[in-house]
Amino acid sequence: MLFKDITIVDEEFKIKEHMYVGVKDDRIAYLAETMPSESFGEEYDGKNKLLIPAFYNAHSHLAMCLMRGYGENLPLMTWLQGRIFPFEAHLTPDDIYYGTMLGIAEMLRFGIAGTEDMYLNYDAQARALIDGGVKARYAASVAWMDNTSYFDLPIYKDALESIAKYNNYDNGRIKTTFSLHAEYTSTEAIAKAVAQAAADNGSSIHVHAAESQGEVDICRQRHQRRSPIRYLSDCGIFDVPTVAAHCVHIDDHDIEILKEHNVTVATCPKSNAKLSSGICPVTSLLEAGVNVAIGTDSVASNNNLNMIEEMRFFNLLQKAETLDPTVITPEQTLYAATRAGALSQQREDCGLVKEGFKADLTVIDVDQIYMKPVYNMLNNLIYAASGNDVVLTMVDGKVLYKDGEYPCMDIERIIYECEKSRARILGAINAVDVPDLSVK
């Protein structure tokens, strides 16, 4: 495909108008101000369009799309114990497959090419991510509090099997990882064993950390006054490439540890607000040089995968929190939603519109009343655009979403199966195990 006479965000996150971008196989093979002499097949008219690096979601639980809007305005423990856990107890691998597919469709609709996905079933997650066509690193998360050795748990065998079957599938599009759910859902022996397994397999780790103040307080009680970040570091979790989701309640010493170990912080501004966890100190993390990428968390606490909206929360919440309107530029914001997420998965050749890079690209229709007038298109993108303005999402050179259509997905079937799962599970829950928790 050749994007003709289009405005782009270049590798330095600057706007360039009237550019020509040619895609050959899975890469950007041409980028210049003039028409190429060679043909790149289909030509895409760049009039009123903005071409940006496709978004990378740094923290998702895609299958939880099944639980969108299921329980709102509840205290955290009521929500988890009265809603989420009972629902999850009924999930089959097929539910997880179709829930993940629904999440992938939504990723594509909002211009997201890749994600770091944590959920409950290696195989079902992998099958969906392979079929859905997106880039992903994925794991089922380890939450285990008794004395069984991690190496005796079925999930360890699942991890090894998944690595053998799917790691680097489709030319590196799919990657496996290890996941520790969190400090508060595991023992020290489990945490150390997961770190060991990841190191032994040359792999990486995806973990929740310092999401709420309560988590930090209890961690300090249990682990010799250490913060979750310090504790996880001591367990060896950060000795492999790690994505630490949330990091809302962290201090300067935690930030030093994160920087020293090149940990990526996956900040989830909307989810942290909705669950009343707080606001991640992104400004301080960026000043310290930490790689900060943006995640959506699950839609059960978001409630969408709209990355343009997520960028807006990311940006504005820092200005509200620091009381300094000069913090977090539009460029830093788009970087956190694109390149930073690609780097968190060691995808050095992804996340930029740059010749030779993988063709993970998103096209925004900027011919909108709320995008006029134009002083600077990047300002308009970060502060005014809508997630719905995404009109094309390309992953590894393949168009997976265009103008409302998903050329590689049976979207009706996915929605049908998700509605069926929802109805079946709700029926089972209402029949047996949940007290009345009317949605306020």
**For residues 371-400, which are near its own copies according to CB under 8 A?**
372-376, 379-380, 383-384, 386-389
* Closest CB to its own copies among residues 120, 316: 316
Tally Cβ neighbours within 10 Å of residue 411.
15
Residue (61 or 347) nearer to its own copies, CB? 61
SS3 at position 157: helix
- Whichever of 162 and 333 has its CB closer to its own copies, that residue is 333
Q: Tell whether residue 61 is a contact of its own copies (CB under 8 A).
A: no
CA separation for the pair 284, 287 (Å, rounded): 5
Number of residues that bind its own copies (CB under 8 A): 72
Minimum CB distance to its own copies smaller for 182 or for 305:
305
Q: How far is the CB of 307 from its own copies (least distance, A)?
A: 12
Stretch that binds its own copies, among 65-73, 131-139, 202-210, 233-241 (CB under 8 A): 65-73
Q: Quote the least distance from Cβ 349 to its own copies, whole Å.
A: 28
Task: Provide CB contacts within 8 A for 65, sequence distance 6+.
Answer: 99, 100, 102, 103, 106, 298, 299, 418
- Least distance to its own copies, CB of residue 278, Å: 7
Is residue 326 involved in binding its own copies (CB under 8 A)? yes
Q: Which residues contact 140 (CB under 8 A, 6 or more apart)?
A: 118, 119, 120, 121, 122, 125, 155, 158, 159, 179
Instruction: Give the binding range for its own copies (CB under 8 A) out of 66-74, 160-168, 281-289, 354-362.
Output: 66-74
* Contact between residue 61 and residue 297 where contact means Cβ atoms under 8 Å apart: yes
**Cis-peptide, bond into residue 303, ω within 30° of zero:** yes
| Of positions 242, 272, 338, 362, contacts its own copies by CB under 8 A | 272
Identify the three-state secondary structure at position 302: coil
- Which residues within the stretch 332-371 sit at the binding site for its own copies (CB under 8 A)? 369-370
Helix ranges (H only) for 235-376 are 252-260, 269-274, 282-287, 307-322, 330-337, 339-344
Dist CA 255 CA 289 (whole Å): 9
Beta strands in 170-312 (DSSP E): 174-176, 178-180, 205-209, 242-246, 264-267, 291-294
Q: Rank residues 87 and 144 by Cβ distance to its own copies and give the closer one.
A: 87
Task: Decide if 361 contacts 54 (C-beta within 8 A).
Answer: yes
Q: Stretches 36-44, 191-199, 296-304, 356-364: which one binds its own copies (CB under 8 A)?
A: 296-304
Site for its own copies in 403-432 (CB under 8 A): 411, 415, 418-419, 422
User: Which range, of 123-131, 256-264, 322-330, 427-435, touches its own copies by CB under 8 A?
Assistant: 322-330
What is the rounded (10 degree) CA torsion for 304, 313, 406, 410? -10
174-213 binders of its own copies (CB under 8 A): 213
Piece of the chain touching its own copies by CB under 8 A; list 115-123, 201-209, 277-285, 345-353: 277-285
What the block records as the tokens of 132 is: 């859905």
Binding status of residue 284 toward its own copies by CB under 8 A: no
Provide, rounded to whole angstroms, the least separation between the CB of residue 106 and its own copies: 5
Residue choice 28, 54, 84, 105 for contact with its own copies (CB under 8 A)? 105
Selected binder of its own copies within 194, 209, 244, 305 (CB under 8 A): 305
Site for its own copies in 226-265 (CB under 8 A): none
Q: Which residues lie closer than 8 Å to 399 by C-beta, 6 or more apart?
A: 1, 392, 393, 407
* Other C-beta atoms lying within 10 Å of the C-beta of residue 308: 22
- Residues in the chain, how many? 440
66 near its own copies, rule: CB under 8 A: yes
CB of 320 to its own copies, least distance (A): 4
The amino acid sitting at 66 is: L
Q: Does residue 437 bind its own copies (CB under 8 A)?
A: no
